Amino acid sequence: MTGLLSFKHGVHPSENKDITSSIASKRFPFPKEVILPLSQHIGTPAKSLVKPGDHVERGDVIAEASGFISSAVHATAAGIVKSIELWPHPNGTMVPSIRISVDPSSSQMRRTRIVPRWQDVKDEDLSTEIGKAGIVGLGGAAFPSHVKLCPPKDQPVDLLLINGCECEPYLTSDHRTMLELPDQVYEGIRIALKALGITRAVIGIEANKPDAIEMMRKTKPDDLDVTVQPLRVKYPQGAEKMLIKAVMGLEVPSGALPSAIGAMVQNVATAANVAAVFESGHPLIERIITVTGRGIRKPGNWKIPFGTKLRDVIEHCGGFTEDAAEIVFGGPMMGLGQANLDVPILKATGGILVLSKDECKRQDILPCIKCGKCLEACPIFLNPQLMGALAKAERYEELKADANLNDCMLCGSCSFVCPSNIPLSQLFAMSKTQLRRLPSS
């Protein structure tokens, strides 16, 4: 697989995508209850617009964005608002959430169009409409898409990169999106290009998805200047900086946004959902989610309404196998471990992974033998060995000032390769949190 475009360093975890890659996505049944946290991603929490007892239809706005980096929340099923209370969130905290008991007698038909056709929207208002429709990046960080579509004025974007890498092992939701909804992906690209006022896009897809590459090539509309670019299979190829490096050969300057070199990256699922929102006239209320791992009895790809509880998903997918050991929201490299089966599915949840005991064996942590494998793995060219030592010694300020902790994107490559099983990326995540808690000088 040499000769394909890629980036330097990185790791090769077992892909395990064959568990679900050939299973077509299906609609998930509506649960009895949906839980919609007011804070689903980075940025300011949304402001609730409903009170207990209110009746809501599927797709209604129930919380509005407050501030620029914020996104609206919509009812993902018709029913009655039961309460607004603290509820367990996938990030491990308790977050104010709107609880809706789903009306079992409702047909779950949506109201007539509440999002205008994109053709009827002025180019400069497209990003506002995208924000109102609650669209966030579906690649994992769930950064509000309308913010990305408004790059700083002094940093004009001239290339749109569509991220179809899906470099996280196990996950296949982006893969299925490209196979099942290629026209929507292109429609989304068309809208994003229009919003950005540019003409050129590149779709980067890892070479382990030849069917998706072929599908995207086959369905490309003639009037769009889009290239489908196969990329080397390597983790974290789907990281924004790595994708840009592979496709454009440029490094995003440390501490800067991709727009600094004229690029913007959008996930394929985001593109497809942008199109779906304008096409159907309804906000973002569901997405394709991969339910996989050897700890779940019936793996598959499902179109699940946000707010569905983890418990309901597990139950519908046949329950746990006997050796199920660990539940993860997202992929195995960067996903969040889940302890509570009551947590709801969020916009950023691309996968639910149930790992069996064999898949997530943990070994004892041994002393660092300075083998240097972490330096060879780090895609950002950090020195995780030194950083790990500093983090253990709680020398957080040095970690930030001298060891460039801020550039670490917590991809987990260093922890993955460490032969002594030192939890490097966990130490770095902790250090970042500790630094945020320090009084700023």
Q: How far is the CB of 171 from another protein (least distance, A)?
A: 13
Nearer to another protein by C-beta: 86 or 339? 339
Q: Which stretch binds another protein (CB under 8 A): 25-33, 131-139, 275-283, 381-389?
A: 381-389
Query: Does position 104 bind another protein by CB under 8 A?
Result: no
Nearer to another protein by C-beta: 8 or 111? 8
Query: Does position 90 bind another protein by CB under 8 A?
Result: no
Of the candidate residues 91, 297, 337, 397, the single one contacting another protein (CB under 8 A): 337
Q: Which x/- pattern over 275-314 shows residues binding another protein (rule: CB under 8 A)?
A: --------------------x-------------------
What number of other Cβ atoms are within 10 A of residue 12's Cβ?
13
229: phi then psi, degrees, rounded to nearest 5: -115, 110
Query: Does position 140 bind another protein by CB under 8 A?
Result: no
Q: How far is CA 8 from CA 20, 90, 367, 418, in A?
A: 29, 32, 27, 18
Of the candidate residues 84, 380, 387, 399, the single one contacting another protein (CB under 8 A): 380
Query: Does position 249 bind another protein by CB under 8 A?
Result: no
Site for another protein in 162-181 (CB under 8 A): 169
Nearer to another protein by C-beta: 274 or 310? 310
Give the integer Cα–Cα distance in Å for 335 and 321: 20
Asked if residue 36 lies in contact with residue 73, where contact means CB atoms within 8 angstroms, the answer is yes
Asked if residue 275 lies in contact with residue 269, where contact means CB atoms within 8 angstroms, the answer is no
Query: Does position 349 bind another protein by CB under 8 A?
Result: no
Tokens 């966990």, residue? Answer: 426
Which spans in 249-346 are helix H? Answer: 268-280, 310-316
Nearer to another protein by C-beta: 209 or 241? 241
**C-alpha 410: how far from chain center:** 14
Query: Does position 155 bind another protein by CB under 8 A?
Result: no
What number of other Cβ atoms are within 10 A of residue 375's Cβ?
17
Query: Does position 415 bind another protein by CB under 8 A?
Result: yes
Angle ∠(418,424,429) on CA atoms, nearest 5: 155
One-letter amino acid identity for 343? V
- Residue count at the site for another protein (CB under 8 A)? 68
Closest CA to 133 of 45, 68, 56, 74: 74
Q: How far is the CB of 408 from another protein (least distance, A)?
A: 10
Of the candidate residues 277, 399, 416, 431, the single one contacting another protein (CB under 8 A): 416
Query: Does position 21 bind another protein by CB under 8 A?
Result: no
Query: Does position 256 bind another protein by CB under 8 A?
Result: yes
Of the candidate residues 285, 425, 431, 432, the single one contacting another protein (CB under 8 A): 425
For residue 170, what are the contacts with CB-CB under 8 A and spacing of at least 6? Answer: 15, 16, 17, 19, 20, 290, 292, 293, 331, 332, 351, 353
Which spans in 123-237 are helix H? Answer: 126-132, 145-148, 173-180, 182-196, 210-218
Nearer to another protein by C-beta: 146 or 241? 241
Query: Does position 327 bind another protein by CB under 8 A?
Result: yes
Closest CA to 349 of 409, 293, 296, 286: 286
Query: Does position 204 bind another protein by CB under 8 A?
Result: no
Query: Does position 94 bind another protein by CB under 8 A?
Result: no
Closest CA to 438 of 397, 409, 404: 397
For binding to another protein (CB under 8 A), which residues are involved? 11, 13-14, 169, 241, 251-256, 295, 320, 324-328, 330, 332-341, 353, 355, 359-363, 366-373, 375-376, 378-383, 385, 404, 407, 410, 412, 415-421, 423, 425-426, 429
